[in-house]
Chains A and B, each alone.
Chain A
Amino acid sequence: MKPAPFEYVRATQLGDALAALASDDDAKVIAGGQSLVPLMALRLARPALLVDVNDLPLDTVEVANNEVRLGSLVRHVRLERDAVVVRAAPLLAEAAALIGYPAIRNRGTLGGSVAHADPAAELPAALVALDGVVLAEGREGTRRISARDFFEGFLTTVLAPDELVVGVQVPVAAERHGASFREWAPRAGDFAVAGVAVVIELDAGGVCVSLGAAACGVGSTPVDLHEVLTDAGVLGASDVGDSLLRSTAQAAARTARGDDDREQLVGLLTAAALHDAFARARGGDASGTGVAA
Chain B
Amino acid sequence: MIGARTLRREDPRLLTGRGSYLADHDVPGLCHIALWRSPVAHARIRSIDTAAAAALPGVVAVLTQADLDAAGARPMTHLLPIPGVQPLAWGVLAQEVVRFVGEPLVAVVAASRAIAEDAVDVLVVDYDELPPVVDVHAALEFGAPLLYPEWGTNEFLHLDYATDGLDDALARAPHVRTERFESHRIAALPLEGHGAQASFDPATGTLTVLASQQQPHQLRTVIAEVCSLSEGEVRVIAPDMGGGFGNKQHFTREECLVALLARITGRPVRWSQDRGEGLTASIHSRPQVHDATFGYDDDGRVLALSVRVVSDLGNPVLYFSGVGPSLVTVGALCGGYAIEHHGWSLSCVATTTCPVGGYRGFGQPQSHLTTERVMDLVAADLGIDPAEVRRRNLLPDAPRPFIAHGGARIDVGPLGPQLDQLLDSFQYDAWRERQRAMRDAGRYVGIGLSTLVQGTAPTQYGVAGRGGSYETAIVSVLPDGNVTVAVGSKSQGQSHETVLAQIAAEMLGTTVDRVVVRDGDTALLPNGMGTWGSRTAVMAGGAVRVAAGRVRDKMTAIAAHMGGAPTLEAVAAEAWWHAHRLPAGIEPGLSATVCYTPGRTIPIPDAAGHTSFDETFGSHMTAVAVEVCPATGDVSVLDALLVSDCGVVINPMVVEGQHQGGFAQGLGAVLYEEVRYSDDGQPQCTTLADYTIPTAIEVPRLRVVHRETHSGTEGGFRGVGEAAITAAPAALAGAVADALAPLGVTITSTRLHAHHLRALLRAAGVEPDPAAFAIA
Judged by a CB distance under 8 angstroms, whether A181 is at the interface is no
CB–CB B632/A265 < 8 A: yes
List A contacts of B708 (CB < 8 A): none
- Among B769, B770, B771, which residue has the most Cβ atoms of chain A within 10 A? B770
Judged by a CB distance under 8 angstroms, whether A141 is at the interface is no
List A contacts of B773 (CB < 8 A): 268, 271-272
Q: Mark each residue of chain B from 650 to 676: 1 if its CB lies under 8 Å from any CB of chain A, else 0.
A: 000000000000000000000010000
Report B63 CB to chain A, min CB distance, Å.
20
Report A197 CB to chain B, min CB distance, Å.
15
CB–CB A4/B121 < 8 A: yes
Q: Mark each residue of chain A from 153 to 170: 1 if its CB lies under 8 Å from any CB of chain B, else 0.
A: 000000000000000000
Q: Mark each residue of chain A from 36 to 66: 1 if its CB lies under 8 Å from any CB of chain B, else 0.
A: 0010001100000000000000000000000
Cβ-neighbour of B698 out of A1, A187, A250 (below 8 A): A187
Judged by a CB distance under 8 angstroms, whether B9 is at the interface is no
List A contacts of B768 (CB < 8 A): 264, 268
CA distance A46 to B112 in the complex (A): 19
List A contacts of B118 (CB < 8 A): 4-5
Judged by a CB distance under 8 angstroms, whether A140 is at the interface is no
Q: How many residues on chain B are close to A (CB under 8 Å)? A: 32
Judged by a CB distance under 8 angstroms, whether B607 is at the interface is no
Judged by a CB distance under 8 angstroms, whether B762 is at the interface is yes
CB–CB A187/B692 < 8 A: yes
CB–CB A188/B695 < 8 A: yes
Judged by a CB distance under 8 angstroms, whether B74 is at the interface is no
Q: Mark each residue of chain A from 11 to 50: 1 if its CB lies under 8 Å from any CB of chain B, else 0.
A: 0000000000000000000000000001000110000000
Judged by a CB distance under 8 angstroms, whether B775 is at the interface is yes
Judged by a CB distance under 8 angstroms, whether B179 is at the interface is no
CB–CB A187/B694 < 8 A: yes
A190 to B, closest residue via Cβ: B692
CB–CB A268/B689 < 8 A: no
Q: Mark each residue of chain A from 187 to 199: 1 if its CB lies under 8 Å from any CB of chain B, else 0.
A: 1111101000000
CB–CB A189/B770 < 8 A: no
CA distance A1 to B694 in the complex (A): 23
List A contacts of B689 (CB < 8 A): 38, 190-191
List A contacts of B275 (CB < 8 A): 1
Judged by a CB distance under 8 angstroms, whether B758 is at the interface is yes
CB–CB B762/A260 < 8 A: yes
Task: Give chain A interface residues in 232-287, CB to chain B under 8 Å.
Answer: 241-243, 245-246, 249-250, 260-261, 264-265, 267-268, 270-272, 274-276
CB–CB B755/A261 < 8 A: yes
CA distance A186 to B685 in the complex (A): 14
Judged by a CB distance under 8 angstroms, whether B117 is at the interface is yes
CB–CB B121/A43 < 8 A: yes
CA distance A189 to B118 in the complex (A): 33
List B contacts of A245 (CB < 8 A): 770-771, 774
Report B375 CB to chain A, min CB distance, Å.
30
CA distance A242 to B769 in the complex (A): 9
CB–CB B753/A186 < 8 A: yes
CB–CB A246/B769 < 8 A: yes
Judged by a CB distance under 8 angstroms, whether B113 is at the interface is yes
Judged by a CB distance under 8 angstroms, whether B631 is at the interface is yes
List B contacts of A250 (CB < 8 A): 770
CB–CB B771/A189 < 8 A: no
- Among A4, A193, A264, which residue has the most Cβ atoms of chain B within 10 A? A264
CA distance A38 to B688 in the complex (A): 11
CB–CB A246/B771 < 8 A: yes
Report A170 CB to chain B, min CB distance, Å.
25
List B contacts of A43 (CB < 8 A): 117, 121
CB–CB B770/A246 < 8 A: yes
List A contacts of B632 (CB < 8 A): 184, 265, 268, 293
CB–CB B687/A42 < 8 A: yes
Cβ-neighbour of B770 out of A3, A38, A270 (below 8 A): A270
Report B22 CB to chain A, min CB distance, Å.
16
In the complex with contacts A4-B121, A190-B689, A271-B694 CB distance below 8 A: no
CB–CB A271/B762 < 8 A: no
CA distance A3 to B759 in the complex (A): 39
List A contacts of B276 (CB < 8 A): 1, 42
Report A234 CB to chain B, min CB distance, Å.
13
Task: Give chain B interface residues in 608-643, CB to chain A under 8 Å.
Answer: 631-632
CB–CB A261/B687 < 8 A: no
CA distance A38 to B686 in the complex (A): 12
CA distance A258 to B775 in the complex (A): 27
Judged by a CB distance under 8 angstroms, whether B697 is at the interface is yes
Report B548 CB to chain A, min CB distance, Å.
45
Report B567 CB to chain A, min CB distance, Å.
52
Cβ-neighbour of A186 out of B274, B631, B755, B771 (below 8 A): B755
Q: Mark each residue of chain B from 754 to 773: 1 if its CB lies under 8 Å from any CB of chain A, else 0.
A: 11001100100000111101
List A contacts of B771 (CB < 8 A): 241-243, 245-246, 249, 271
List A contacts of B769 (CB < 8 A): 246
Judged by a CB distance under 8 angstroms, whether B560 is at the interface is no
Judged by a CB distance under 8 angstroms, whether B114 is at the interface is yes
B687 to A, closest residue via Cβ: A42
List B contacts of A191 (CB < 8 A): 689
Cβ-neighbour of B113 out of A2, A38, A264 (below 8 A): A2
List B contacts of A188 (CB < 8 A): 695, 697-698
Report B765 CB to chain A, min CB distance, Å.
13
A263 to B, closest residue via Cβ: B762
Report A228 CB to chain B, min CB distance, Å.
14
CA distance A271 to B771 in the complex (A): 6
CA distance A265 to B755 in the complex (A): 10
In the complex with contacts A42-B687, A184-B632, A193-B755, A275-B775 CB distance below 8 A: yes
CA distance A191 to B690 in the complex (A): 10
CA distance A282 to B642 in the complex (A): 47
Q: State the 3 A-B residue pairs at the shortest beta-carbon distance, nearest first.
A: A271-B770, A249-B770, A2-B114
- 30 A-B Cβ contacts within 8 A? A1-B117, A1-B276, A2-B113, A2-B114, A2-B117, A4-B117, A4-B118, A5-B114, A5-B118, A38-B687, A38-B689, A42-B276, A184-B632, A186-B753, A187-B672, A188-B698, A190-B689, A190-B692, A191-B689, A243-B771, A245-B774, A249-B770, A261-B759, A264-B762, A268-B632, A268-B773, A271-B771, A271-B774, A272-B770, A275-B775
Given A1-B117, A4-B118, A264-B758: 10 more A-B contacts, CB < 8 Å: A1-B274, A1-B275, A2-B113, A3-B114, A5-B118, A186-B672, A187-B692, A265-B632, A268-B770, A272-B773
